[in-house]
């Protein structure tokens, strides 16, 4: 539960006020795991809170460093927030970390080479190979890394993949899935997908979990501690609800998130079917992969 974050970070108090038992670590010790979060999501503070919540569920001491791109200025975060709590990649390039998490980004429909920070992201992926013990690439970042490293392309879906889906775990005895069982529920919210045949035909990748409905979910680069994750185990209980109601209010065409609301009724509370597994997943990653 002890976690050290940049001094004064508002997201920590958000997590604590929402009832998550978090102990703020004032000073790192020799046993502290150093984790970097490259936060590419537009709503920085909610994403910070999501990852503080799941990382702080571990009994290990965590020091969280918030990383930003040097070649991109976020539109939805204040300059004060980014300057106060984040460090640019250039400032961190000579630092080593036990773990790195690269988040998704709402730019799925843009070709990777057209992303303004594509060159810097590729540099970070290369840098992580020798400076990070274990990396989690999440959602769009998973697609980006798989494309850069292996040439695996993303594909536009006919409609948004939206809901909380059960996934079959192919190797439940792996330390990554300790205490989870044969299936894992995970939220998805995306407009693109990876094709299963592209994954299984790439000998350098092992498919660890997938769903009949939402497709491939967790993959590992063989011989490394790098994982590619298409879903969002870190999501808060109300994230999909907020997203659904936001799009409805804008008059956008959006279907109900599947397997999420009680009785599939958006006026009723969401069903919390994934957060226990999410805490176990991140605890296992920290304990068995980020920790040397």
Catalytic residue among 81, 167, 188, 232: 232
Question: Cβ(104)–Cβ(41) under 8 Å?
Answer: yes
Residue 63 placed within a domain: yes
Scan for tokens 């299936």, then name that residue.
183
Residue 23 placed within a domain: yes
pLDDT average, residue stretch 67-77: 93
Residue 256 placed within a domain: no
Catalytic residue among 202, 217, 234, 283: 234
Residue 62 placed within a domain: yes
Distance CA 93, CA 124 (A): 8
Tell me if residue 139 is catalytic.
yes
Tell me if residue 283 is catalytic.
no
Residue 266 placed within a domain: no
Q: Domain count for the chain, please give it.
A: 1
Q: Check residues 64 and 253 and name the one with the higher pLDDT.
A: 64
Catalytic residue among 81, 139, 188, 202: 139
Cβ burial, residue 47 (10 Å; 0-12/13-18/19+): buried
CATH assignment at residue 25? 3.40.50.880
By residue range, what is the domain housing residue 232? 2-237+278-290
Lowest mean pLDDT among 28-32, 76-80, 115-119, 260-264: 28-32
Per-residue pLDDT band at 1 (split at 50, 70, 90): low
pLDDT tens digits along 21-64? 787 777 777 789 999 999 999 999 999 999 999 999 999 999 99
Taking residue 227's Cβ as centre, other Cβ atoms within 10 Å add up to 21
Residue 58 placed within a domain: yes
Greatest CA separation for the chain: 53
Residue 213 placed within a domain: yes
Residue 186 placed within a domain: yes
Tell me if residue 234 is catalytic.
yes
pLDDT of 243: 95
pLDDT tens digits along 168-221? 999 999 999 999 999 999 999 999 999 999 999 999 999 999 999 999 999 999
């Amino acid at each position: 539960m002890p976690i050290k974050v940049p001094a004064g970070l508002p997201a920590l108090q958000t997590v604590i006020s929402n009832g998550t038992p978090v102990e703020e670590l004032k000073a790192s010790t020799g046993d502290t795991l150093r984790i970097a979060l490259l936060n590419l999501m537009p709503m920085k503070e909610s994403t910070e809170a999501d990852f503080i919540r799941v990382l702080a569920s571990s009994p290990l001491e965590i020091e969280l460093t918030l990383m930003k791109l040097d070649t991109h200025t976020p539109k939805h975060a204040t300059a004060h927030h980014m300057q106060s709590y984040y460090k640019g990649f250039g400032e961190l390039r000579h630092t080593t970390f036990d773990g790195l998490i690269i988040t998704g980004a709402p730019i799925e429909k843009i070709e990777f080479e057209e992303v303004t920070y594509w060159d810097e992201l590729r540099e970070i992926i290369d840098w992580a190979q020798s400076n990070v013990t274990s990396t989690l690439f999440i959602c769009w970042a998973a697609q980006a890394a798989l494309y850069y490293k292996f040439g695996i392309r993303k594909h536009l879906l006919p409609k948004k993949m939206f809901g909380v889906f059960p996934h079959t775990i192919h190797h439940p005895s792996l330390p990554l899935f300790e205490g989870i069982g044969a299936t894992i529920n995970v939220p998805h919210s995306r407009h693109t997908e990876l094709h299963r045949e592209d994954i299984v035909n790439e000998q350098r990748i092992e498919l660890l979990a997938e769903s009949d409905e939402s497709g491939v979910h967790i993959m590992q680069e063989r011989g490394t501690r790098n994982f590619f994750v298409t879903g969002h185990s870190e999501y808060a209980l109300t994230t999909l609800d907020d997203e659904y109601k936001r799009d409805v209010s804008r008059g956008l065409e959006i279907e109900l998130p599947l397997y999420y609301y009680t009785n599939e009724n958006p006026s009723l509370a969401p069903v919390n079917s994934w957060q226990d597994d999410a805490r176990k997943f991140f605890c296992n990653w920290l304990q068995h992969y980020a920790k040397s």
